[in-house]
């Protein structure tokens, strides 16, 4: 039971961190559109960190990238 509670706590922390990054996501997507190019997960991380001025947890990055990368190709594709 304690292990499950710890896992849920980690999930809640990840969700909280990810949801606090909405402005950073907006910034990353606007940069992608302005540059008229696609982003890899690493490029997406770089743009998030550029906006946040601090590192992003890998769990948060996975959650955020998975939410916006709908093609599941590993690349955020700009189709503007």
Nearest to 43 by CA among 72, 76, 10, 68: 76
| Residue 64 predicted with pLDDT over 70 | yes
Q: How confident is the model over 8-50, as pLDDT tens digits?
A: 878 778 777 767 778 888 898 888 888 888 889 999 999 999 9
| Residue 74 predicted with pLDDT over 90 | no
Distances (CA, A) of 64 to 2, 4, 24, 56, 59: 27, 23, 10, 11, 9
pTM: 0.74
In this predicted model, which residue has the larger pLDDT, 72 or 50?
50
Helix axes 58-68, 41-52, angle to 10 degrees: 110
Question: DSSP assignment, residue 73?
Answer: S
Nearest to 54 by CA among 17, 26, 14, 16: 17
Residue-level pLDDT at 80: 65
Cα–Cα distance for residue pair 37/31, rounded to 1 Å: 9
């Amino acid at each position: 039971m304690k292990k499950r509670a710890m896992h849920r706590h980690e999930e809640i922390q990840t969700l909280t961190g990810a949801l606090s990054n909405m402005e950073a996501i907006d910034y990353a997507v606007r940069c992608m559109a302005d540059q008229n190019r696609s982003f890899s997960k690493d490029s997406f991380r770089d743009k998030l960190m550029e906006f946040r001025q601090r590192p992003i947890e890998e769990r948060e990055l996975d959650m955020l990238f998975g939410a916006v990368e709908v093609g599941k190709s590993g690349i955020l594709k700009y189709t503007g």
